[in-house]
Amino acid sequence: MNTLDCRAATYADVSDIYRMGVETFQQHHQYEWGFEKQFLLDLLDSEAERGSTDVAEIGGRMVGFLISAIYRPEHEEPSCRFLWFFVVPEWRGLGVSAALLHYSMRKYENRLGIRKFSAALWVGDSATARLVAGFGFRRTTSLAVWAKS
């Protein structure tokens, strides 16, 4: 039986994550939006101090990823912002994004004590908006930033 597993990305995952991200986001939205392989490598090199990339697998096949960054503003508690959610189209609507979000939030809470989260969504991304709202996030700006603290 194929089970859904979430884990931190490794260097071996970077090419697949980059390919999926570029094919899905950059090509779809027709502009350069900063999804670079070096950014993924930098996150891995930072050992979760700057953020992380988590992946979802079913039967050993990568079916999604979630990229996040940690913000440490002066005089404020650190927070995590979820930047890029992606699930392979044939696996959408089956709980993959929810599993990734749950995994990532628990990881940040348990390892770094982070309890404040936000998610940057594409305007009109109603599926992801429903997902994060189900986790207690609420819309905070007109730029589709959702937060949970």
pLDDT at 144: 56
pTM: 0.84
Q: What percent of the chain has pLDDT over 90?
A: 38
**Residues near 38 by Cβ (< 8 Å), separated by ≥ 6?**
none
pLDDT tens by residue, 23-48 = 666 555 544 555 677 778 887 887 66
Question: 68-77 long-range CB contacts below 8 Å, 24 or more apart?
Answer: 68/104, 68/108, 69/43, 70/108, 70/112, 70/114, 77/114, 77/115, 77/116
pLDDT at 108: 92
pLDDT tens by residue, 53-75 = 999 999 999 999 999 989 888 88
pLDDT at 30: 47
